[in-house]
Amino acid sequence: MAHRLMLMAMMLWGVVLSASAADDGRAIGIVPATAKFASVAAEAPGGNTALFVGINQFTQDTSLRPLSFAVNDAVAQAYLFVIELKLIPAKNCYLSLAGEPGTDDTKTQLTTLEQAGIRRIDGARAAILRALLAIEQIPAEPADLLIVSISSHGFEDRGVPYAMPADGLRGMLEDTAISLSSVEQRLARAKAGKRLMLIDACRERPATDGKGGDLAMTSAFRSALASAEGQATLASCDVGQVSYENAQFGHGVFTHYLLQALRGQALADQRGFITLGQVSDYVARGVADWVTRNKPELDKAAVQRPWFKGPKAAEQIPLAVDPGIRARQASFKAQTDKTIEVLKLKIDRKGKFNAALYEKLAEALEAARDDESGRELLANAREFAEGRAREAMFVAYVERLTIARPPAQVRPDHAQGPTFTNTIGMKFVRIEAGEFMMGSELSPEEVAKRFGGEAKQFEDEHPRHRVCISTAFYLGTHEVTRGQFAQFVRETSYQTDAEKKGDGWGLINEGWKRQQGLNWKNPGFDQTDEHPVVLVSWNDAVSFCQWLSKKEGKKYRLPTEAQWEYACRAGRQTIFPWGDDVDSGKGRSNAADQTAKERFPGWASFNWADGFVYTAPVGYSRANDWGLYDMIGNAAEWCSDWYGAYPRGAVDDPQGAENGPWRVLRGGAWGSVPGSCRAAIRRRDARFLPINDIGFRVALDSP
């Protein structure tokens, strides 16, 4: 079964989109493209790369009919992503063509691309494979984007989908064609973390009687397209359907609507981004509507209907920007930020508008969107800030406010990601990109009331703000063990800060004091090599990461504070990582429980007993929903950040303060009381300070 295949592998979170389209007659329902779009970035990141292939002419197999718009498709897509969207640097773009553009527009686009410095190559199999090898080496980190686009005939043989190069032979697919399965495997080796494949297959071939051909998509080909694990697929037509071309478009119908969507016809989301999800919806509706209008003779089941399969997170990938919406949003945010600052002056600790109400109102304003309800909230807040609203009435209004907190955009059903184990036996799990609300669900006053302490101790958990973790990363499933740290010391003769000073901090009679002789080998209590290493400073933890990086040729590091809390919550937005009920944490945390209370009777404690006063072997407690152990309890964990106040408003990939006297610690420890085992709790210490409840966990971007 032959197929007109346009495969665009625009790799975004390992996503594959498939598509198709074909017909020659005059079209009904053509919508002119507009310029209502802009690029996501001002300049293409240097690690992004792409290969676009368009094969109109087949030199070795006369049974393969020439195609009309494969070259047009490849050139137009390259122009879109290199010149218009600025997602791919021209020097990193390969364009493989067999034939010449068929319209004046695409001829002009090709000239512009060549002048910009793209690399044009021929359409032979060897040239395409060499280009694939070249682009595999360009991405340098998971944030990079890799695009592959192949527009040609497509075939399926024994469950394997193939694309035809200019010198391919239909009778020898395995030896002369491009295996799309092999392409996927090669691209998976690249360091780019953003990946997508787009398939345009099953082009109609007009029959001699003018009624069309018989190249409907087969079940086998559809299965082959959707078989890649972890991939999202957008296919231009379903089983038993064909896809159409149109001479007036100069492209396949699917490609036409894809270009329209990215040039501003698809609706932007509330952030002003035109995302993959909106593009998919627009293309599906546009293609189905065009075929219904222009092919009225078709049975309903035979109408070309694109289909999408893939993870929800992939739908949020931004591909273009609606500048009008972005400008309005920037103005709205500037107004809310200014209002929040003015409202701070209205706090009256003895009056009705107190600090707790201010924090609630500030959080509501930060979460507000530029829509009817958001504008109403801003207007009311400004009335009060400017002294034009009575305090009593406004306080009652704020007390009734409910704050919309959208769920985090994470893997569905709290699924655990793939894992790998390094050469010293440390296991890591992949943490997918997503969003979450960082900070405390409770006000400082509520935390103090429920768990004890003074409210000011918990003020640094505010303001609660939305954080985007834009790139997947890997995190150790366990805290670094004493045995693993011992291997580091043996191989490097490293001395920890505690060993150099001759002392460390430990617990004596329920108080923390400096003690002579305390270090990671003698923390003041018994440990085995399976316990988390403690009495290590931030400096010691970073030195371990540097040794491990050199040993394995990978970049190991400490997680950022935002990455740590995101992974700790594992998709939940609750007080504790296990939920809101303090007693539901039984078996999930080695913290101050009834066992510890026997040794330290003055402690507030959990109601269970795990048998450990101090540290427990790593992994003794149950893992969270993403396969991470001891995120709460056992040992507190160093993060990479300098400690500082949280930002107001949403942020992407925060790195902490620029400098300061303290580094961040997260996660509670073996001696932590319930209030210090919350997902939002923060702690700080000097980077050279070793304490016998502090350890660390290791992260890396790519294995």
Alpha-carbon gap, residue 328 to 369, rounded angstroms: 11
Domain containing residue 163 = 2-318
Q: How many domains does the chain have?
A: 3
Does the residue 489 lie in any domain? no
Collapsing DSSP states into helix, strand and coil, what is residue 289? helix
- For residue 215, being part of any structural domain is answered with yes
Cβ atoms of 209 and 286 within 8 Å: the answer is no
Residue 233 Cα distances to 149, 303, 434, 585, angstroms: 14, 19, 20, 39
Question: Is 660 in the same domain as 694?
Answer: yes
- Are residues 63 and 198 both part of a single domain? yes
Does residue 301 belong to any structural domain of this protein?
Answer: yes
Question: Is residue 90, in this structure, part of any structural domain at all?
Answer: yes
DSSP for 527-546, written as a single string: --TTSBP-S--HHHHHHHHH
What is the distance between the alpha carbons of residues 132 and 155, in angstroms, rounded to a whole number? 20
Q: What is the mean pLDDT of each run of 10 residues along the chain (703 residues)?
A: 41 39 32 48 81 93 89 92 90 96 94 96 96 92 80 80 90 91 80 74 41 43 47 59 77 83 77 77 83 75 64 67 72 89 81 83 83 86 90 88 54 62 94 91 90 91 91 95 97 96 82 89 94 96 97 95 96 90 87 89 86 92 91 96 90 91 94 93 92 96 86
Backbone angles phi, psi at 437, to 5 degrees: -95, 115
Q: Do residues 291 and 343 both lie within one domain?
A: no
Domain CATH for 561: 3.90.1580.10
Q: 153 in a domain, yes or no? A: yes
Q: Indicate if 330 and 386 belong to the same structural domain.
A: yes
Judged on CB neighbours under 10 Å (0-12, 13-18, 19+), 510 is: exposed
**E strand or H helix at 259:** helix 253-260
Question: So what's the pLDDT on residue 197?
Answer: 72
Q: Same domain, yes or no, for 369 and 307? A: no
Domain limit, last residue, from 284, 318, 352: 318
Q: Which amino acid is at 665?
A: L
Give yes or no for a contact between 199 and 151, defined as CB atoms under 8 angstroms apart: no
Its pTM stands at 0.51
Kindly give the pairing relationship between strand 699-700 and strand 556-557: antiparallel
Q: Round to whole Å and give the CA distance between 126 and 116.
A: 25
Structure confidence at residue 500 (pLDDT): 95
pLDDT value of residue 349: 63
Domain end point (choices 251, 283, 318): 318
132: Cα separation from own chain's centroid: 25
pLDDT value at residue 213 = 33
Give the residue from 285, 318, 351 where a domain finishes: 318
Question: Is there a domain that residue 519 lies in?
Answer: no
Instruction: State phi, psi for 561 to the nearest 5 degrees.
Output: -60, -40
Q: Phi/psi at 144 (nearest 5 deg)? A: -75, 160
